[in-house]
Amino acid sequence: MKSMVRPYKCVIVANGSFPSSPVALEMMEKASVIVACDGAVEALHARGYSPDAIVGDMDSIPHLLRHLYADRIYVEEDQEENDLTKAVHYVQDSGEKDVLILGATGLREDHTLGNISLLADYALWMDHVEMLTDYGLFTPLLKSSVLKSWPGQQISIFAIYPEGEITVEKLRYPITNRVLTSWWQGSLNEALEDTFTIHLSPQARVIIFREIKKDCL
């Protein structure tokens, strides 16, 4: 069984639960650019990773590490955006259009919900952006798409805005020309084949969760 995660040159590591699954750790090992939110630097350093850039208001980085990595710190004090969004802006300004986000869930649930919902905004700025956890892959969709899967894979669909119609094919529980008005309504579905299709009307914006096997490389 193959991973659903495609290779990414650039990863952002946020200050949630540090990645522990083989899939997530492999993505970090293979990335040529690691951008850290300031709160994630201590965990990265403790595990032998050296970030190429550190972005944020620097309120969460120990003084010793701030001195050690002084040549790659980018201070952004705007309190209207969280550190993850600041890191995405940094990546965008650096010319990267594909990015994988790690460590953005776990710990505080309000941070987790906020970070997941922000994927819909990031999808407007980047060519490809996804968020990988130890349990699954979140993919924002702005248009109809065919996604890889496997029979039995757990799938959830979260509508960011309660507008626009959604139709799915090759999932166990049908959704046909439906407006999803609450996050639970498209959750806990299951793939039937090696791909599934989601059709979106022009107004629809969704985030897809696909289960990832922890030992699947």
Specify the pLDDT at position 3: 63
* 185-214: pLDDT as tens digits: 999 999 999 999 999 999 999 999 999 976
Cβ neighbours around 86 below 10 Å, total: 21
Residue 55, classified by CB atoms within 10 Å of its CB into exposed (0-12), middle (13-18) or buried (19+), is buried
* 9-37: pLDDT as tens digits: 999 999 999 999 999 999 999 999 999 99
* 8 A C-beta contact, residue 31 and residue 10: yes
Q: Which residues pair with 35 in a beta bridge?
A: 12, 53
The C-alpha atoms of residue 100 and residue 98 are separated, in whole angstroms, by 7
Q: State yes or no: pLDDT of 215 exceeds 70.
A: no
* 42-71: pLDDT as tens digits: 999 999 999 999 999 898 899 999 999 999
